[in-house]
Amino acid sequence: MEKYYFSYREIHEIIQQKAKEIISSGYMPDYLLAIGGGGYIPARILRTFIHRPIVTVSLSRYDDITGKTVSIPIKQQWIDKISIDLTDKKVLLVDEVDDCRTTLEYCVNELLKTYDMELSIFVLHNKLKEKHGKIPDAVKHMFIGKEIENKWINYPWDALDITAHELLSERNND
Amino acid sequence: MEKYYFSYREIHEIIQQKAKEIISSGYMPDYLLAIGGGGYIPARILRTFIHRPIVTVSLSRYDDITGKTVSIPIKQQWIDKISIDLTDKKVLLVDEVDDCRTTLEYCVNELLKTYDMELSIFVLHNKLKEKHGKIPDAVKHMFIGKEIENKWINYPWDALDITAHELLSERNND
């Protein structure tokens, strides 16, 4: 198998399971902070189990005009103390995958420039591979839904044909 | 059947189908604007077909402290011209369900106070029922994924047990 095809059900189950572990550990954030685009769906599912308001920021690795990959992520939407004050709050950052770790590192560092808060991270998947970024020491908890191999991931929300995608995801599980 | 149980696959299919119709009609927004909490997942799926940046706002009908329903939605996250300038843009507002229509009316009116822009709406479901709110005349297009009866909706992202939910959604479709 060269690529992963994950179904919505598998993803929901991973979040369902991990959320229970998080709650059992005694940790409870004040806010879920989705990193868009990848974090929107995991954060919304997570809210079913960890019932806290969702706030979002959005980063892009692509320049909309040139279509090229950029070395420093572009802030498509950001937050500041005027829009929402997260000072002294426990905030759980949510994203779909920890790949090279550079987006997470960038996002954490940028948020900590604005807010003095307790930051933790939840990622649905962590790819077991060499990381180019580092999780800053200030991060309190790093919660991982599932560790996976370093393969290309097809998430269900990116499926142009969901029926075909679900068939491929069933074959993955055989 | 007293309640709907929608599966992720059904929802993805509705968005997949409707997005093709929207594109065929010649309409193309500059931004997708998700109304959180309900709009995050539909907006992220829609982006697969209508590839535009997602921006979010978030409204709550519940007071976090008292837990009571409020008559005017509370802005949990909002946008302004400093954070993102949508002036003169074509913006497609995305939400899960048009129920009483009051949230949509409120959201459109609040956005139009800030921005002079072309606003359209996409809702995954529209409940066929008496509406207490009115879609402001300024709204250019109102796209509806699927018209449904006035029953309680169980969305998959709210499932405490996704396996049980999927079984109930299959029974719905028998």
Higher pLDDT, A70 or B32: B32
H helices of B2-101, in order, are 8-24, 40-49
Q: Give me the catalytic one of B99, B137, B161, B174.
A: B99
* Mean pLDDT to the nearest integer, A126-136: 96
Q: Which residue in A146, A134, A172 sits closest to A3, CA to CA?
A: A172
Residue entry with tokens 């709907």: B4
Helix (H), strand (E) at residue A6: none
What's the domain range around B33? 3-172
pLDDT value of residue B173: 63
CATH number at residue A14: 3.40.50.2020
List, for residues A55-92, the tens digit of each pLDDT value.
999 998 887 778 788 888 999 999 998 889 999 999 99
Does residue B174 surpass a pLDDT of 60?
Answer: no
The structure tokens listed for B119 are 């606003």
Give percent of chain B with pLDDT exceeding 90.
Answer: 87
Q: Among A8, A37, A47, whose Cβ lies nearest the Cβ of B8? A: A8
CA angle A152-A59-B75, nearest 5°?
Answer: 125
Q: How far is CA B58 from CA A74, B99, B114, in A?
A: 22, 17, 16
List, for residues B108-146, the tens digit of each pLDDT value.
999 999 999 999 999 999 999 999 999 999 999 999 999
pLDDT value of residue B62: 81
Does residue B69 surpass a pLDDT of 90?
Answer: no
Helix (H), strand (E) at residue A169: helix A162-173
Taking the C-alpha atoms of residue A69 and residue B121, their distance in angstroms, rounded to an integer, is 31
Taking the C-alpha atoms of residue A111 and residue A92, their distance in angstroms, rounded to an integer, is 12
Mutation target to probe the A interface, by most A beta carbons within 10 A, among B31, B47, B52, B77 is B77
**B161 assigned to active site:** no
- Least trusted range by pLDDT, from B13-27, B62-76, B81-95: B62-76
Higher pLDDT, B6 or B68: B6
Does any CB of chain A come closer than 8 Å to the CB of residue B58?
A: yes
pLDDT value of residue B105: 97
Size of interface A-B (CB pairs under 8 A): 113
Contact B83 A80 (CB under 8 A): yes
In the beta sheet, which residues pair with residue B147? B126
List, for residues B80-117, the tens digit of each pLDDT value.
988 899 999 999 999 999 999 999 999 999 999 999 99
Q: Among B16, B37, B53, whose Cβ lies nearest the Cβ of A44? A: B37
Taking the C-alpha atoms of residue B110 and residue A86, their distance in angstroms, rounded to an integer, is 24
| Sheet of strand A90-98, all strands in order from the earlier edge strand to the far edge | A69-77, A54-62, A31-36, A90-98, A118-127, A142-148
Which residue is closest to A166 within chain B, CA to CA?
A: B9
- Give ipTM to 2 decimals: 0.96
Does residue B27 surpass a pLDDT of 70?
Answer: yes
Q: Which residue in B139, B30, B44, B135 sits closest to B86, CA to CA?
A: B30
Per-residue pLDDT band for B65 (boundaries 50, 70, 90) equals confident
Q: Are strands A3-5 and B3-5 parallel, antiparallel or unpaired?
A: unpaired
Contact A83 B60 (CB under 8 A): no
Mutation target to probe the A interface, by most A beta carbons within 10 A, among B5, B7, B9 is B9
Does residue B1 surpass a pLDDT of 70?
Answer: no
pLDDT value of residue A1: 63
Which phi-psi region, left, alpha or beta, contains residue B24 (left: φ > 0; alpha: ψ -120 to 50)?
A: alpha
pLDDT value of residue B55: 97
Contact A40 B40 (CB under 8 A): yes
Total domains present in chain B: 1
Q: Is this prediction's pTM over 0.90?
A: yes
Taking the C-alpha atoms of residue B97 and residue B123, their distance in angstroms, rounded to an integer, is 6
CA angle B159-B36-A88, nearest 5°?
Answer: 100
- Closest approach of chain B CAs to the CA of A133, in angstroms? 25
